[in-house]
Structure 1
């Protein structure tokens, strides 16, 4: 019987996404929208659904935290948003948090995706 791979670190999850061809990073543009880098799409919050949230805490520094949001767009394409928070927040754009709060959430079992 095959055991699912434990995904305890950010790099493990990102590698698993890459192996599945789901490593489409979505980043905030200067115009307050999200852009799928790998799939070259522009998104409004209602175009996306957060299907899973992974939280990671730095081993050596509690301020070194990050969140990985796994998203699905209306065309069923999977992408992700990576946000380091705390002292090292990677999102300088002030609209990022507001945009994120407007995205609907549907927590899914990721076995179908990673299984």
Structure 2
């Protein structure tokens, strides 16, 4: 897990530049995510990076961001949840079912300006 000084929106933009464009928070609505009407098996998802954001002055600003990909079709996206007191238990349950293969040796908080 990476704790960063960047804001959630800054890291989401960097991830978007790296191809993480899907909104996997839709998994909270359904056990399967359906881009283009194709169901995704939650077992095909893999968490690549986890970022924790701490609210320096406001606990409401605490969040955790998961960058993940789908092994079956290569789709990449993000999943955001509250952290600590403000965590969403349904989101936690979904995340607990997804494999984590995180490598912290590569710093993904560096803006690659589309050249990633």
Q: Same fold (TM over 0.5)?
A: yes
Structure 1 partner of 2:100: 105
1:45 is aligned to 42
Q: Which SS does the other structure have where 1:98 is aligned? A: helix
Structure 2: gaps spanning 5 or more residues: none
String of CA shifts for 1:54-90, please: whole Å, max 9, x gaps. Answer: 000112113431000010101222111011234544x
User: Which has the bigger relative contact order, CA under 8 A and spacing at least 6?
Assistant: 2
The answer on 1:26 being equivalent to 2:24 is: yes
TM-score (norm 1): 0.69
Q: Structure 1 residues 7, 58: CA separation in 2 closer, same or farther (over 3 Å shift)?
A: closer
TM norm structure 2: 0.68
- SS where residue 102 of structure 1 aligns? coil
Structure 1: where are the runs of 5+ without partners? 1-5
Higher strand share: 1
User: In structure 2, what is the Cα distance between the partners aligned to 1:98 and 1:15?
Assistant: 26
Give RMSD over aligned pairs. Answer: 2.8
Work out the number of aligned pairs and report it: 103
